[in-house]
């Protein structure tokens, strides 16, 4: 079963019997819950896309570990072509769902852990790499969804983990046994965790000597005893529970984020990929972050395409599509979106092979890509809001349409341009609202700033990778300064 279909994935997810707290209640049948179901369907799309005629060209590839045909979401990149295809695949899936389809975090974690475990073994004589190869071969052959978990709560950010009153604010090893370790802590903002079969935990930052207990990387099934989940809210999320549903905007798909708590959870040795090698932790963080910064050059662009399309549609429905300023704003939206895509492709095209044999993006350009992502979706959303008009924020509920009096008023006074249906116009406005200020804005805007690290983290990396000294030398040579 190397390339599952969406319904097979959903059946396998149900078999895990995951539970979570959602809005103060323990929920058992998660995939059926109205807040969760759209996010399950979005992940299922990453399976179904591998079976549609267009998508299969992007989403299927050959495993470097087993030689089997696999879904690219589990692939260890083998060339710059693979890195480019990853970005194209993410744009494709963003087009198909207009939301976060959640599955890239595990792919990005795997590619980082693969190369770092190899280098760690070379330097420390450990055997993490072989463990990880065996683990990931199973992930590929069973076409599993894996969540990558990096962000610790941290508490007082001015203090190192060992200086905190509560050292659990960074996930840590609390006990070492012959057959494994026991960990305690939490990981925040976990995208798609409840739709995953497995999770890979990584340190949240470069650890130093004396911080060995926090330099831990491991994998576990998501239904492991001692792991619990608290569901995150999204703006306007309860619209997913309403009937009729079109006020939700995105009718079928949505994202998901949870807080994941580890209460003295046992991790067996064969699932540990770093334990105390503090010098490797920073490298792991940087590589995972860079892969995910590349990812945004695909997924956010895919959502941007749909938002631009919906904005052009509402301009037509409002009868303003030929206004010069509207056309110019649409061109600006396309320009910004394609600029994001360009950086995603560029950091892939300039990728290189790691000593472990998988391929890594150009770090500088991946960080430039993500820094642009912290800004451009906001400007695209602002332009969409501008073109859509104020009704985006004031439109009555879809429920009113069933009322003989208010429904008639709405149909009369919210009339669209000739040739367009008033209710269709309302649906397009709700769709735009979902992405610019509703539940979809979590992924398209807030996550664009903070996902894979906030802008300050990209600036630090750009400063480090930007080779200012090299540029000074270039200038000096031409100016004639020794």
Q: Name the site residues for ligand SF4 (rule: CB under 6 A).
A: 100-102, 104-105, 191, 295-296, 299, 443, 447, 451
Of 299, 354, 374, 444, catalytic = 299
* Separation CA 224–CA 476 (nearest Å): 60
> In the complex, what is the shortest distance from the CB of residue 282 to ligand SF4, in angstroms, rounded to a whole number?
22
Q: Is 447 noted as a catalytic residue in this protein?
A: yes
Q: Is 104 noted as a catalytic residue in this protein?
A: yes
CA 359, 361, 364 angle in degrees (round to 5)?
150
Of 80, 291, 292, 347, catalytic = 292
Of 44 and 299, nearer to ligand SF4 (C-beta) is 299
Q: Burial of 141 by CB count in 10 Å (0-12 exposed, 13-18 middle, 19+ buried)?
A: middle
Q: Is 360 noted as a catalytic residue in this protein?
A: no
> In the complex, what is the shortest distance from the CB of residue 140 to ligand SF4, in angstroms, rounded to a whole number?
18
**Residues composing the chain:** 482
Side-chain-side CA neighbours of 37 within 13 Å: the count stands at 11
Q: Is 100 noted as a catalytic residue in this protein?
A: yes
Of 198, 211, 277, 447, catalytic = 447
Which residues 6+ apart lie within 8 Å of 431 measured at CB?
98, 249, 250, 310
Of 111 and 295, nearer to ligand SF4 (C-beta) is 295
3-state secondary structure of 196: coil
> In the complex, what is the shortest distance from the CB of residue 68 to ligand SF4, in angstroms, rounded to a whole number?
23
Of 49, 93, 100, 369, catalytic = 100
Structure tokens at 394: 């004031």
Q: Is 238 noted as a catalytic residue in this protein?
A: no
Element (H, E) at 7: helix 6-14
> In the complex, what is the shortest distance from the CB of residue 373 to ligand SF4, in angstroms, rounded to a whole number?
10
Q: Is 291 noted as a catalytic residue in this protein?
A: no
Of 180 and 255, nearer to ligand SF4 (C-beta) is 255
Would you say 59 and 50 are in contact if contact means Cβ atoms under 8 Å apart? yes
Of 31 and 302, nearer to ligand SF4 (C-beta) is 302
Q: Is 229 noted as a catalytic residue in this protein?
A: no
Judged by phi (left if over 0) then psi (alpha if -120 to 50, else beta), residue 297 lies in alpha
Of 257, 286, 360, 433, catalytic = 257
> In the complex, what is the shortest distance from the CB of residue 442 to ligand SF4, in angstroms, rounded to a whole number?
10
Q: Is 142 noted as a catalytic residue in this protein?
A: no
Which residues 6+ apart lie within 8 Å of 363 measured at CB?
286, 290, 347, 461, 465
> In the complex, what is the shortest distance from the CB of residue 220 to ligand SF4, in angstroms, rounded to a whole number?
19
List Cα–Cα distances, 271 to 120, 143, 179, 473, in angstroms. Answer: 16, 18, 11, 47
Of 35 and 426, nearer to ligand SF4 (C-beta) is 35
Of 161 and 351, nearer to ligand SF4 (C-beta) is 351
Of 229, 231, 291, 296, catalytic = 296
Would you say 152 and 145 are in contact if contact means Cβ atoms under 8 Å apart? no
Catalytic residues: 100, 104, 191, 257, 292, 296, 299, 447
């Amino acid at each position: 079963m190397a390339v599952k279909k969406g319904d097979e994935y959903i059946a396998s997810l149900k078999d895990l019997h995951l539970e979570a707290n959602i809005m103060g209640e323990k929920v058992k049948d998660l995939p059926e819950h109205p807040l969760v179901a759209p996010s399950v369907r979005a992940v299922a799309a990453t399976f179904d896309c591998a079976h549609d005629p267009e998508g299969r060209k992007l989403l299927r590839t050959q495993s470097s570990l087993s030689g089997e045909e696999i879904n690219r979401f589990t692939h260890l990149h083998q060339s710059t072509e693979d890195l480019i295809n990853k970005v194209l695949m993410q744009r494709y899936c963003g087009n198909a769902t207009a939301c976060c389809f959640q599955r890239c975090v595990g792919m990005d974690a795997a590619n980082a852990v693969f190369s770092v475990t190899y280098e760690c073994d070379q330097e420390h004589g450990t055997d993490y790499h072989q463990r990880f190869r065996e683990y990931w071969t199973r992930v590929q052959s069973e076409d599993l969804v894996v969540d990558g978990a990096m962000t610790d709560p941290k508490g007082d950010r001015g203090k190192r983990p060992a200086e905190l009153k509560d050292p659990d604010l960074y996930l840590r090893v609390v006990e070492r046994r012959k057959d494994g370790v026991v960990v305690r802590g939490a990981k925040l903002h976990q995208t798609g965790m409840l739709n995953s079969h497995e999770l890979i935990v990584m340190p949240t930052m470069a650890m130093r000597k004396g911080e060995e207990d926090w330099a831990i990387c491991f994998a576990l099934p998501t239904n492991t005893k001692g792991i619990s989940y608290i569901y995150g809210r999204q703006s306007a999320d309860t619209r997913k529970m309403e009937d009729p549903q079109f006020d939700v905007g995105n009718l079928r798909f949505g994202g998901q984020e949870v807080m994941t708590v580890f209460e003295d959870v046992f991790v067996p040795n064969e699932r540990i990929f770093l334990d105390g090698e503090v010098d490797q932790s920073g490298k792991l963080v940087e590589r995972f972050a860079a892969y995910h910064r590349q990812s945004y050059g695909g997924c956010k662009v895919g959502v941007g395409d749909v938002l631009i399309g919906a904005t052009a549609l509402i301009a037509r429905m409002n009868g303003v599509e030929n206004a010069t300023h509207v056309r110019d704003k649409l061109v600006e939206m396309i320009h910004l979106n394609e600029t994001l895509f360009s950086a995603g492709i560029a950091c892939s095209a300039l990728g290189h092979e790691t000593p472990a044999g998988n391929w890594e993006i150009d770090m500088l350009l991946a960080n430039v890509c993500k820094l642009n992502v912290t800004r451009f979706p906001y400007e695209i959303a602002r332009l969409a809001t501008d073109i859509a008009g104020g009704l985006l924020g004031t439109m009555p509920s879809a429920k009113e349409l069933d009322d003989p009096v208010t429904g008639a008023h709405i149909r009369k006074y919210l009339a669209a341009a000739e040739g367009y249906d008033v209710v269709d116009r309302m649906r397009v406005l709700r769709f735009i609202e979902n992405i610019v200020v509703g539940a979809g804005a979590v992924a398209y805007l807030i996550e664009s700033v903070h996902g894979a690290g906030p802008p300050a983290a990209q600036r630090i990396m750009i400063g480090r990778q930007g080779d200012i000294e090299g540029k000074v030398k270039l200038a000096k040579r031409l100016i004639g300064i020794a």
